[in-house]
């Protein structure tokens, strides 16, 4: 007796999934929805269910996870980032990996802009001053005039380009930096500078890069030292881009005037992490992407990637191109 291939949701975090599950069932899958909390739980469930497709949110997809399932053909992430997936191991196992690159472009870009504006105009610092009992308009120093501020956008993917467009009419100058984007993909109206110059000349740096071995820790003590005195740093991408100890030191010394962070490493940050309570930090709980349309798009496009793989042999938005070791979602013989 033939059984349909299994599509396993590992950690969907309680989102509305009715339409996505129906889409997968229509594509020929038997859908399992779990609420797994650790790599060990995931390995056990994958070994038992032998899914053809694994739909993941935050759980790490490691060599051990991939080795537990001889049937696995695709890992579909419900996020732009895919740094929680071991891509090299996926290649060895012939497993496709895909992401959702554009569901929240507007939300993340506008959140970065909001953080940058709030920092430059001292909004979170003045708010804290009033909540602590003060009422002095210059208690946090002199905010800058936006028309005299340069915004440096590091990373020219969808979100970085959107931020640069939004900010062009707000800041006096916007420059971009991305060593991984060629000239053909560069916005014609945006000045392109090298990272060193971007750090030196920008009053606000906003990070929009994926977390890879090449970008991990790129904003370290040396990079922070190259930023001008009184500059601000915004990160709505991945916490691992920044050396957090070096960031705290730069804030404590006064070299940086502040930071806006929607991401940390790890997440959530431990209770003792000084970024949680630092007076010069505006911090939010990885919420820059959030809106009802974005939430729906993430869930549906994650499922659409799996349905496309089942139908066409490849997902819509892959981040790798493995040599598949097994046919997409092919029916298996019941034991």
**Residue in 25, 197, 286, 314 annotated catalytic:** 286
Q: Residue 114: in which H helix or E strand, if any?
A: helix 105-120
In terms of pTM, does the model score above 0.95? no
Angstrom distance (rounded) from CA 132 to CA 296? 39
278 among known catalytic residues? no
314 among known catalytic residues? no
How do the domains of the chain map onto residue ranges?
2-102+292-333, 105-283
| Same fold? 2-102+292-333, 105-283 | yes
**Residue in 19, 145, 267, 330 annotated catalytic:** 267
Angstrom distance (rounded) from CA 57 to CA 295? 12
User: Cis (ω within 30 of 0) for the bond into 268?
Assistant: yes
**Residue in 208, 238, 280, 310 annotated catalytic:** 238
Query: HSE (CB half, 13 Å, CA atoms) of 314?
Result: 8
CATH architecture of 105-283: 3-Layer(aba) Sandwich (3.40)
238 among known catalytic residues? yes
CA 321 to chain centre: 21
Per-residue pLDDT of the chain (335 residues; tens, 9 = 90+): 579 999 999 999 888 999 999 999 999 999 999 999 999 999 999 999 999 999 999 999 999 999 999 999 999 999 999 999 999 999 999 999 999 999 999 999 999 999 999 999 999 999 999 999 999 999 999 999 999 999 999 999 999 999 999 999 999 999 999 988 877 778 889 999 999 999 999 999 999 999 999 999 999 999 999 999 999 999 999 999 999 999 999 999 999 999 999 999 999 999 999 999 999 999 999 999 999 999 999 999 999 999 999 999 999 999 999 986 665 654 433 33
Domain 2-102+292-333 adopts which CATH fold?
A: Rossmann fold (3.40.50)
Residue 306 exposed, middle or buried by CB count within 10 Å (0-12, 13-18, 19+): buried
């Amino acid at each position: 007796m033939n059984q349909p291939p299994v599509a396993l949701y590992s950690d969907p975090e309680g989102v509305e999934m009715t339409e996505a599950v129906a889409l997968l069932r229509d594509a020929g899958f038997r859908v399992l929805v779990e609420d797994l909390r650790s790599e060990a739980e995931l390995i056990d469930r994958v070994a038992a269910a032998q899914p053809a497709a694994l739909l993941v949110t935050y759980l790490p997809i490691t060599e051990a996870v991939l080795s537990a399932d001889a049937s696995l053909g695709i890992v579909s992430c419900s996020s732009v980032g895919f740094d929680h997936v071991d891509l090299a191991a996926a290649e060895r196992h012939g497993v496709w990996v895909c992401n959702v690159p554009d569901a929240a472009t507007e939300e993340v870009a506008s959140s970065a802009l909001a953080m940058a504006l709030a920092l430059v105009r001292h909004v979170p610092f003045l708010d804290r001053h009033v909540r602590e009992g003060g009422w002095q308009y210059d208690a946090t120093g002199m905010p800058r005039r936006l028309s005299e501020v340069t915004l440096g956008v590091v990373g020219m993917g969808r979100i970085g380009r959107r931020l640069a467009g939004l900010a062009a009419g707000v800041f006096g100058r916007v420059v971009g930096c991305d060593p991984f984007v060629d000239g053909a993909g560069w916005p014609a109206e945006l000045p392109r500078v090298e990272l060193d110059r971007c750090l030196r000349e920008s009053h606000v740096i906003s990070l929009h890069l994926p977390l890879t071995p090449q970008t991990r820790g790129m904003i370290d003590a040396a990079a922070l030292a190259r930023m001008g005195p009184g500059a601000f740093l915004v990160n709505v991408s991945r916490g691992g881009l920044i050396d957090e100890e070096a960031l705290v030191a730069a804030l404590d010394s006064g070299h940086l005037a502040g930071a806006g962070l929607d991401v940390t490493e790890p997440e959530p940050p431990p209770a003792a992490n000084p970024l949680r309570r630092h007076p010069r930090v505006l911090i939010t709980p990885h919420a820059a992407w959030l809106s009802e349309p974005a939430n729906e798009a993430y869930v549906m496009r994650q499922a659409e990637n799996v349905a496309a793989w089942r139908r066409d042999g490849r997902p819509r938005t892959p981040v790798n191109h493995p040599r598949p070791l097994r046919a997409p979602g092919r029916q298996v013989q019941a034991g």
